[in-house]
Chains A and B, each alone.
Chain A
Amino acid sequence: GIQVEQSPPDLILQEGANSTLRCNFSDSVNNLQWFHQNPWGQLINLFYIPSGTKQNGRLSATTVATERYSLLYISSSQTTDSGVYFCAVRNTDKLIFGTGTRLQVFP
């Protein structure tokens, strides 16, 4: 089956710093989603991005499907950005998740 790898596994930042999270996948996919899981376990949709680039405020994402990777950019990080970031790819009807990047932002 498709393998999804995320890097780095852990990231510690000071408030105001920028960061880039990476998601590699092993096969062609129908689409890709990025999520933020908050400390209570809720998965919050960030981007639905099978290809191209999207921006939403301080966050942006780029997926290069032909090279099988996606990047999530966080600029001017805030403490509320802390949590785990997952990418998930869709192959047929289900999402396959990576193991996540745990982000901690300190004031």
Chain B
Amino acid sequence: DTGVSQDPRHKITKRGQNVTFRCDPISEHNRLYWYRQTLGQGPEFLTYFQNEAQLEKSRLLSDRFSAERPKGSFSTLEIQRTEQGDSAMYLCASSSTGTSGGYNEQFFGPGTRLTVL
């Protein structure tokens, strides 16, 4: 088990371009989360999946953001028409379902650092 992986680790793009990030969770984990972290702040929740179903989206996730987890394994996060305010670290985490459907410990990937010029 190699932990949560994310690709790419760094992305520099020009304003208005589309970008896509990938997250591969720990293999036996059925829950996958996306968070965003800006400089000097703690991570903020964006969205999460249980298997392939997207169960919650934060109001931070504007219409330009879309996330998918088509087969309940890896996930992608796409940002369309990027803006300078999208510059941040995008973190992915995964966890397994706890007993009685509860929530277990989340484990994070190394993140994708996005810079929008």
Q: Are A48 and B105 in contact (CB under 8 A)?
A: yes
State A35–B42 Cα separation when bound (angstroms). Answer: 11
Give the A-B contact count at a CB cut-off of 8 A. 54
Name the prevailing secondary structure of the A interface residues: strand
Known: A96-B45, A97-B42, A97-B43. A90 touches B103 (CB 8 A): yes
Report the contact-size class of chain B (Cβ under 8 Å from the partner): 20 to 34
In the complex, how many residues of chain A place their beta carbon closer than 8 angstroms to a beta carbon of chain B?
22
* Interface residues, chain B, with chain A CB atoms under 8 Å away: 33, 35, 37, 40-45, 48, 55-56, 58, 89, 91, 93, 102-108, 110-111, 113
Q: Are B33 and A45 in contact (CB under 8 A)?
A: no
| 11 A-B contacts (beta carbon < 8 Å) | A33-B105, A35-B108, A42-B108, A43-B108, A45-B105, A45-B107, A45-B108, A86-B43, A88-B43, A93-B48, A97-B44
